[in-house]
Amino acid sequence: MNILMVYPRYPDTFWSFKHALKFINKKASFPPLGLLTIASFLPKEWNVKLVDLNVENLNDKDIEDADYIFISAMLIQKNSVDMVIEKTKKFNKKIIAGGPLFTTGYENYQFVDSIVVGEGELVMPYLIEDMKSGSLKHIYESEGKPDLKLVPVPRWDLIDIKHYASMAIQYSRGCPFNCEFCDIIILNGRIPRTKTPEQMIDELNALYNIKWRGSVFIVDDNFIGNKKNVKEMLKYLIEWQKERNYPFSLFTECSINLVDDKELMDLMIEANFNKIFIGIETPEEESLKEINKVQNINRNLIDSIKTLQKKGFEVMGGFIVGFDNDNILTFSKMMNFIQKSGIVTAMVGLLNVLPKTKLFERLKNENRILTISRGNNTDFTINFIPKNIKKEELLNGYRQLIKDIYSYKYFYERLWNFIKNYNPKEKHKVNFKEVVYGAKAFFSSVYKLGIIESSRFYYWKTFFKTIFLKPKALVSEITLTIYGYHFKKLYEENEKRLRAGLEI
């Protein structure tokens, strides 16, 4: 049987790093881990081909040769999904779809032959048998949450790893917290489930054996959700890294309460984690209470971030404006907080109310939902009626905030705030390919940011300060200047499209 797996294209967003990837000749940030994992469930005698539309095009022959077409997607990929479905339906092919987009919005895809709602591990055996017999059901939904011991090693042979800036693996699913706006608990539940240490070693070996070296993203909802298990796993990971002279530098997503556990921080640093993404959301205490972000309440968030940076983590932060307790002063408070924190990679978005979340149900009951979210919270649109601030004030305040924080003046100011507080501990052994990519990125940054762009004064000022005062942070400094270029260009493109009346 011939299976075609299609991963839809992402629009150009904050996390696409479209403008930054050009510096290192990469086409996408991460591979389609979900489809690669599902592919491992399929019978070995089946022919499987994966087309990632973020790195290549979908050809008619790929569709013609397929017996079934698998699609997995997130909400933000909806436009690309619709185009893929339209194209494949012309060939009268059976489509099997899954992922967050279809889990929370399967009612909108009655025309898709089969949809896997939720996690696929428990339903894959039944789906495969129905594919063999040609008797597909429309909906396959798992009863309960699968044990992650059932998850196989992804099929890395289905992609060309040279197209990607980082590889990705998963350790756990679920988050113990219950933030009102978040759909994690809808998708993966509140009880964190983890793989065994042995599984993680198998997955790391798989990446090592295909000769990947460099960055690996552990894509968990909250990496430290089950602290007991993660500490045990990290001990195995540390030994594995040491034995191979640290082939991977690691980064992940976790909650701010990591700072409360010195042992866990030390273990992550020893395992060669150098970056973490944390949902800060807002410096407004009342807004944190409103959304039930309990892990961020009653703490000095700036001090927590500084502690993590000194420990050796580059903290990336998620921020949101538009909560009910936000007001016209929120934008200046947010700006000041981000600058003081030294969070260089600051993803600031408008609140978007995601389907089936507690926030969605609350605002629906209050008749404040305008439309279903497109999953893009940086496109200058909202899908709800704000409470304490007019819609126009919210959108205008957000646009000015984005313009300011991604401007070169404030970006480089924030970058130096980070560098001077940062204590890098990375143990990663750099190989020849990484030297080549690094050299290309550096010289490209010199040409583009140090000569052509209006950033040149700030670029060289920060560069020389780093060389003389924090030389160990130079690689991070250069990398972050490239990120800053991406953020600024993305903002400028969105502004142009907005003024032209085009969809972002």
Q: Give yes or no for a contact between 395 and 365, defined as CB atoms under 8 angstroms apart.
A: no
Residues of the chain with CATH 3.20.20.70: 166-419
Q: What is the pLDDT of residue 436?
A: 80
What gap in Å lies between CA 446 and CA 26, rounded to an integer?
A: 19
Model confidence pLDDT, tens digit, residues 105-125: 999 999 999 999 999 999 999
Model confidence pLDDT, tens digit, residues 414-466: 999 999 999 998 776 667 677 787 899 999 999 999 999 999 999 999 999 99
Q: How far is CA 21 from CA 54, 97, 358, 438, 479, in A?
A: 12, 29, 36, 12, 11
Model confidence pLDDT, tens digit, residues 131-189: 999 999 999 998 899 999 999 999 999 999 999 999 999 999 999 999 999 999 999 99
Q: What is the pLDDT of residue 296?
A: 98
280 phi/psi in degrees, rounded to 5? -80, -40
Q: What is the mean pLDDT of residues 82-92?
A: 94
Q: Tell me: pLDDT of 394 over 80.
A: yes
Model confidence pLDDT, tens digit, residues 206-220: 999 999 999 999 999
Tell me which of 425 and 412 has the higher pLDDT.
412
At 402, the pLDDT band (50, 70, 90 cuts) reads: very high
Model confidence pLDDT, tens digit, residues 8-58: 999 999 989 999 999 999 999 999 999 999 999 999 999 999 999 999 999
Q: Tell me: pLDDT of 494 over 90.
A: no
Closest to 380 in 3D by CA, of 492, 460, 481: 492
Distance of CA 14 to the CA centre of its chain: 10
Residues of the chain with CATH 3.40.50: 2-141
Question: Does residue 72 sit in helix, strand or coil?
Answer: strand
What gap in Å lies between CA 385 and CA 387, rounded to an integer?
A: 7
Q: What is the pLDDT of residue 434?
A: 77
Q: pTM of the predicted model, to two decimals?
A: 0.95
Task: For domain 2-141, give the CATH number.
Answer: 3.40.50
Tokens standing for 196?
Answer: 């065994």
CATH class of 166-419: alpha beta
Q: Give yes or no for a contact between 72 and 34, defined as CB atoms under 8 angstroms apart.
A: yes
